[in-house]
Chain A
Amino acid sequence: MSQPFRLNKEGLINRNKKISFTFNGKKLFGYEGDTIASALIANGIHLVGRSFKYHRPRGFFGAGVEEPNAKLQVEFNGHSEPNVNATEMELVEGLSATSQNCWPSVNFDIGAINNFLKMFFPAGFYYKTFMWPKSFWYKIYEPFIRKAAGLGVASIEKDKERYEHKFEYCDLLVTGSGPSGLASAYAAAKNGAKVILAEDKPRFGGTLLTDDVSIDNLSGKDWAEKIISELKSMPNVTVKNRSQVFGYYDHNMLVMFERVSDHLEKKSKFTPRQRLWYIRAKETILSTGSIERPIVFGNNDTPGIFLSAAAKEYMKVYGVLVGKKPLVFTNNDSAYETALEFKKNNVEPIILDTREEHSSELIDEAKSKGIDIRFSHGVIVANGYKKVKSAKIGKLNKDKNSFEKIETIECDCICVSGFWTPSVHLASQSGNKLKYEDKIDAFIPDKKKQHETSVGAANGSFTLEESLKNGFENGSNLSAKITDTKTEIAIPNVNEKKYGTHDKFWCMPLPKNENPKRFVDFQNDVSVSDIEIALREGYRSIEHVKRYTTLGMATDQGRTSNLNGLQLVSNIENKIVPEVGHTTFRPPFTPITIGTIVGREVGMEYMPTRKTPMHEWHEKNNAVFVDAGAWKRPRYYKQGNETLFEASKREAKNVRENVGICDVTTLGKIDIKGPDAAEFLNRVYTNAWMKLPVGKARYGLMLREDGIVMDDGTTTRISENHYHMTTTTAQAANVLSHLEYYLQIVWPELNVNVVSTTEQWAGAAIAGPKSRDMLSKLYPDLDVSNDALPFMGYKEAEFFGVPSRIFRISFSGELAYEINVKSDNGMFMWEKMMEVGKEFGNQPYGTEALSTLRIEMGHVAGPELDGRTIPSDVSLNGLVSKKKDFIGKNSLVREAFNVESRQKIVGLIPIDRKSSIPEGSHIVQDQNAKLPNPKLGHVSSSCWSVENNNPFSLAIMKDGKNMIGKKFFAVSPLKNKSIEVEVISSHYVDPDGKRVRS
């Protein structure tokens, strides 16, 4: 099959390698080095999609990142990706592309009826139309919008590709490999600087690939190749193609998106698809070039209308003609190069130049080649629905507001040039306030805000000579400051064509009684009349006009529409463009995949997993795990077909009747050492610590400065100046930071050191009436009697040959001990305990049973210490010293903390003794009261009391201490439950705490 629009020789594609692909089901082929766009155009295909609002037929407009229309759904390598830019995606074997936003097909699109109903789609149509009446929303508006609007379809499959993040540091980052970028990188590299050169296209060289220039007697392309190969050979230089620097963040942090392997047919298993680079650069050269802007005219969105530089790029890079009967419509000299390129390939263009007849190097060359040039002319309206067939052109009068002559001429494409807009996105993102340069009708960077320097076309210099000079100088000077080396480089001789001045003209007038749509923003379907309406309706700020009309939004970010939109607003407003200002440029400059942002942090790699040394045993013994922060803790050990409820009841009951062991390794552990350690603890905890003897543990409560409880736990005096503190699992990191804050900032005079030892110790609790019997078997040589090792006692002893610490502390409320051994010995300890415990009926228990045990004892934990409770709220005011000062003490006198009806912890049991009370339920007087029903408190923790065999809950209740014996309702709208409850003491089991001391 032949390609009717492929030239025979031109281009940088590999004609020896054919690549087959499909477009909307049709089998086609292109060559290696083609983009989807160049391959389709070579095949004569221009209609690729439908526009967002009016579903008008749309074709290609650009040849790279500036493309507003050609976004396709592309399937390749087994995945489907929406909104792929056809002008950037390289062709790979077997790729299949389909048009988006059209139904049932791109050729016959029912949504196109919107085009004929356009009176219903004015600016702000979403805000106006779909607001009212409300009842229309679900049945009429929403389904309609869903069908009609939107871009591609996101895949619902799991993304099997690999994405990576990379952190890099360099002296100089150069963003763009056009002439100024190459010159900067080269000069800096010669000075010994660490340089990264990033190019978003597959080929290096930027405009050097398409401009008819020579540098030191080499063609632009050959010079670029020479520089790149030299840069690649230097160890201090990283050269990256297919890499778009899309964001400029604080402190010279730039982020780059590298397309690593989408263009490869085969890749190894671990090659990432894309890579995100976080680059911290000492200096940044912004050599991002410029983007051609269109001239606005009627039906200027018809397929077959291109930017003139894009048409030239298709010829010179891809060997593809965008048409065989071109009109070149321009207000400046650069489009003449496109016309000359057509001519070189035996295609006869007609040039329409809005300027009056004059001469310049390029105009003279075009004339001498016999090209038909019509001065003071422009395209009024393009004819043709799915492809340009002809154009109505007009001779402009002197004021360029009406026509002296109008005629229609045949053409199959229109190549338009309205001059050049520097790509200032990255400069603007860096914080640079842009300034308006009248000479080029565009914004360029102003004073530096970070370490960024814009060079070449991105800075408004449009000649090669200037760009190279600019690049060499800045690259050399910026790097010399860093490396202290300055290598002299001769600036090469340049041969380029001199351009004449451009015409400050950007929008064609309309003849009387004609009103075709003139689009400013193709991607968002914003036309001249939409902006006029917005201004008539009173929108003034350019940011408001942007949001109301959607001008410059979405993936396009106004790349081709920005300046023309501003010109329009300034004309209507009778202001100059710099007074109108510009909208904010936001990262990313081009769309990037979510996969790249996420990188490797998916699934199990989303966050670290912390496992205790006994984890494997738990796994082998049917533990069902629960996440506690990053930790995995056994929730229960499943036997047979047990449910969570049944298993936790069995485990808790066994602790109350026999003995159980629980992995408590996850508790935070902090080693505290120093001569002032006791004084420090005395200030940190609410209770007294000065007189705790060596070998004793104490329960402590710590507050924040605002009087709210921060954490609780036991701390043991290991030796004279050495303490072992435990924290809750959840607060371990916060408590350590809290202690460090006071030691480093508030009381640096205290000689104390703190360090986390959470991971150094493995811990197991032994709890239950038979725990002492079991302990005596574990330590046959140790006196473990109540006198020798009383409640809150501490001993160090050998555990079957390994050193261990024994704490007689209890969270379950039973007679209990906690044994700590070095982490490496954790599994050994656990297995020994299981072996020795058999005769006492020992069973392991998980966090669910642990909760049950502490709830029915009325021991508070996270749900009660929720950042809103003070010590008296949770009945821990006995631990608050009246004599000494401590963190948060001064806040406890606050009036609200001391009112008679202050909230307090209580216990709740259901009247029917059967219904479990959902955690989070609200306590109310009257379950049928009108909403909002006054809330008297909330249920913080619930369990099935194994001691009393009925549900029991803890609650924080207003005036709790006077509520004992009263009846209320616990209502949970979430669970749709309302349960009548009776208020009792929070200490449901062993209220006097006899068991722990037994």
Chain B
Amino acid sequence: MLYIKCPYCGLRAQKEFSYGGDATVKRPNINEEVSSEDWDNFVYMRKSPRGKHIELWQHIAGCRQWIKVQRDTATHEIFQTAKVTEEIR
């Protein structure tokens, strides 16, 4: 079981969190034209890297904040966690 450092609450067990996918995906701006290619990329296309991956988790059984976690998808090593408003490296 992973040990995830919530930037608000500290180190907590994985079972307090739920996974939210790739954190680097940016939603096209609301009320702005978007090409169907860009839209499809946003909705469907995700990389599945072996290694470092910046992803979203929500501290669902804690402070309910969405956070960023940089994790190695093969070893589960967590390099860094951050608030969603912060950049990871």
Contacts and interface: CB of A to CB of B under 8 A. Distances in A.
B30 interface: yes
Interface string A726-759: 0000000000010011001111100000000000
B1 interface: yes
Contacts of A745: 56, 66, 84
A251 B36 contact: no
A278 B1 CA distance: 10
A190 interface: no
Interface in A499-558: none
Nearest to A743: B66
> Which 5 A-B pairs give the minimum distances between C-beta atoms?
A251-B3, A250-B76, A890-B39, A885-B31, A744-B66
A196 B63 CA distance: 31
Given A740-B66, A747-B30, 12 more contacts: A249-B1, A250-B1, A250-B2, A251-B1, A251-B76, A280-B13, A737-B18, A740-B58, A744-B65, A744-B66, A885-B31, A890-B36
Instruction: Give the one of B30, B43, B75, B76 with max A CB within 10 A.
Output: B30
A251 B2 contact: yes
B20 A741 contact: yes
A893 interface: yes
Contacts of B46: none
Nearest to A748: B85
A38 B22 CA distance: 58
Contacts of B65: 744
B60 interface: yes
Interface string B11-52: 001000010100000011011001010010011100000000
Interface in B64-81: 64-66, 75-76, 78
Interface of B: 1-3, 13, 18, 20, 27-28, 30-31, 34, 36, 39, 42-44, 56, 58, 60, 64-66, 75-76, 78, 84-85
Given A683-B30, A745-B84, A705 B42 contact: yes
A592 interface: no
A251 B43 contact: no
Contacts of B75: 431, 449
A893 B36 contact: yes
A449 B75 CA distance: 9
Contacts of A431: 75
Instruction: Give the one of A251, A737, A747, A893 with max B CB within 10 A.
Output: A251
A891 interface: yes
Interface of A: 167, 249-253, 278, 280, 431, 449, 683, 705-706, 737, 740-741, 744-748, 884-885, 890-891, 893
B36 A885 contact: no
Contacts of A250: 1-3, 76
22 contacts: A249-B1, A250-B2, A250-B3, A251-B2, A251-B76, A251-B78, A252-B3, A280-B13, A449-B75, A683-B30, A706-B44, A740-B58, A740-B66, A741-B20, A744-B66, A744-B84, A747-B30, A748-B84, A748-B85, A884-B31, A890-B36, A891-B43
Given A706-B43, A890-B39, A885 B30 contact: yes
B31 to A, nearest CB: 5
Contacts of A890: 28, 34, 36, 39
Contacts of B76: 250-251
Nearest to A252: B3
A741 B31 contact: no
Contacts of A885: 30-31
A272 B1 CA distance: 24
Instruction: Give the one of A683, A744, A746, A893 with max B CB within 10 A.
Output: A744
Contact of B39 (A278, A740, A891): A891
Contact of A737 (B28, B30, B36, B58): B58
Contacts of A253: 1, 3
Nearest to A167: B13
A748 B26 CA distance: 13
A683 B43 CA distance: 17
Contact of B66 (A741, A747, A891, A893): A741
A772 B39 CA distance: 49
Contacts of B64: 740
B63 to A, nearest CB: 11
B64 to A, nearest CB: 6
A249 B78 CA distance: 14
A760 to B, nearest CB: 16
Contacts of B13: 167, 280
Nearest to B60: A737
B43 A280 contact: no
A801 to B, nearest CB: 35
Contact of B3 (A280, A746, A893): A280
A683 B84 CA distance: 21
B46 to A, nearest CB: 13
Contact of B27 (A249, A737, A746): A746
A252 B58 CA distance: 22
A250 B4 CA distance: 11
A431 B27 CA distance: 37
B89 to A, nearest CB: 19
A250 B13 CA distance: 11
B21 to A, nearest CB: 10
Nearest to A884: B31
Contacts of A737: 18, 58, 60
Contacts of A705: 27, 42-43
A893 B60 CA distance: 33
Contacts of A280: 3, 13
A945 B1 CA distance: 51
Contacts of A251: 1-3, 76, 78
A287 to B, nearest CB: 23
A965 B56 CA distance: 50
A450 B36 CA distance: 45
Nearest to B28: A890
A927 B46 CA distance: 43
A823 B60 CA distance: 24
A525 B60 CA distance: 50
A737 B75 CA distance: 28
Contacts of B1: 249-251, 253, 278
A575 B65 CA distance: 55
Instruction: Give the one of A167, A449, A740, A745 with max B CB within 10 A.
Output: A745
Instruction: Give the one of A252, A278, A741 with max B CB within 10 A.
Output: A741
A820 to B, nearest CB: 23
B20 to A, nearest CB: 7
Nearest to B11: A280
Nearest to A679: B30
Contacts of B44: 706
Contacts of A252: 3
Contacts of A741: 20, 58, 66
Nearest to A706: B43
B77 to A, nearest CB: 9
Nearest to B35: A890
